[in-house]
Chain A
């Protein structure tokens, strides 16, 4: 676990150290050569974009790639899954696996790939532009995009919960008493998407608790881990951006801290978007597992 954290955060962490050191350097150069101050700011932007924003861009492309491969996989296997669902007759109805739900889950991934992630990229570019050229400010536009995305994702998650709870067979197994304080902690402390995270976790939990009867707890938890690793990585990176912004605020240009803060916000939204992908992955994986289990036991 620690090796994993080091592997994922080592590169990210070093780039934040670079931001802090280069902000110091720019401070000293401003002191020595005040006539060069405008250019120091520009060049600091260069350093930050080429070195420090790399992790954010990597995450964006990572999530984009995952969304692409999952949507491709879904387009490939959906006919087979649907056919086998028809073949197995009424066996699925007791588990509340509607084909529409599968379609919906993976439709969300396709929505993410085609629509949400390009919009997020646009938000990052708007942020960069409005910090780089303050007279050409797009901050409201970037904020609008972020809130719209967050709203879309929350709506999709709410639709999931409706789908799952109307079936009635799934019960909330992670008992409310035990997990309520943790949920409260998360929703209070993660900025922007905290309450969204607890809600969506609850939805996935509600869903997979029904499936764990068939598939076994360890399998479910391993699927959870695989599906949520990219989201957690994104979340941690977003926190790093905001922490760095908070750390260098006293002595760095306002633009620099602002850009880090904005990128952090965008990454939080990216984390929310990646939850959609995690949903679809968990759903498809459980679906396939249960299908295979049914086929093998019915023989």
Chain B
């Protein structure tokens, strides 16, 4: 609920900026956006995800952490690349999103190897 109020305040500030200094608006928008976004990450998203990982403690170890971590990583990257695309740099947005996707896949490599091993024991022998 507090986050909603904060968002409204940020929105109002942005409107004010676009009214008073329209030339600086893209720069200030990005700065305020990133600031607000990291503030939200620190106060809301990270504590929540830690709580969430603890909730799914009984699952075998890397899975809950990996799944929630990669979902949040994907979400962050999605938002940032959308922001970049909004500013008009679409290809840069694609590159950043692609890089994060590769990072997520790298996180899962060990599990993928296990999966392939299990399936291949079925076939061989």
The 8 closest A-B pairs by CB, nearest first: A36-B71, A33-B71, A36-B74, A33-B75, A29-B71, A25-B56, A47-B63, A121-B122
Q: Nearest chain B CB to A151's CB is how many angstroms away? A: 23
Query: Contact check: which of A22, A46, A57 meets B121 at CB < 8 Å?
Result: A57
Q: Is the CB of B67 within 8 A of A25?
A: yes
Q: In the complex, A40→B64 CA distance in Å? A: 11
Contacts of B29 in A (CB 8 A): none
Chain B residue nearest to A37 (CB atoms) is B71
Contacts of A93 in B (CB 8 A): none
Q: In the complex, A64→B123 CA distance in Å? A: 12
B residues near A, CB below 8 A? 52, 56, 58-60, 63-64, 66-68, 70-72, 74-75, 78, 108, 111-112, 114-115, 118-119, 121-123, 125
Chain B binding surface SS class: helix
Q: In the complex, A210→B120 CA distance in Å? A: 45
Give the segment of A48-56, A182-190, A268-276 that binds chain B.
A48-56
Q: Is the CB of B59 within 8 A of A61?
A: no
Q: Is the CB of B68 within 8 A of A29?
A: yes
Contacts of B70 in A (CB 8 A): 36, 39, 43
Q: Is the CB of B67 within 8 A of A43?
A: yes
Query: Contact check: which of B52, B74, B78, B123 meets A121 at CB < 8 Å?
Result: B123
Contacts of B121 in A (CB 8 A): 57, 61
Please judge, given known A-B contacts A35-B75, A36-B75, A39-B74, whether A29 and B67 are in contact too, CB under 8 Å: yes
Q: Is the CB of B122 within 8 A of A46?
A: no
Please judge, given known A-B contacts A18-B60, A25-B64, A29-B71, whether A35 and B78 are in contact too, CB under 8 Å: yes
Q: In the complex, A270→B121 CA distance in Å? A: 17
Q: Nearest chain B CB to A226's CB is how many angstroms away? A: 25
In addition to A22-B63, A121-B122, 12 A-B residue pairs with Cβ atoms within 8 Å of each other are A21-B58, A33-B71, A43-B70, A43-B108, A46-B111, A46-B115, A47-B67, A49-B115, A50-B111, A57-B122, A121-B123, A125-B119
Q: In the complex, A36→B100 CA distance in Å? A: 13
- Say if the beta carbon of A67 comes within 8 Å of chain B: no
Q: In the complex, A39→B122 CA distance in Å? A: 25
Contacts of B64 in A (CB 8 A): 22, 25
Interface residues of A in 13-51 (CB under 8 A from B): 17-18, 21-22, 25-26, 28-29, 32-33, 35-36, 39-40, 43, 46-47, 49-51
Q: In the complex, A273→B59 CA distance in Å? A: 33
Query: Contact check: which of A17, A40, A121 meets B71 at CB < 8 Å?
Result: A40
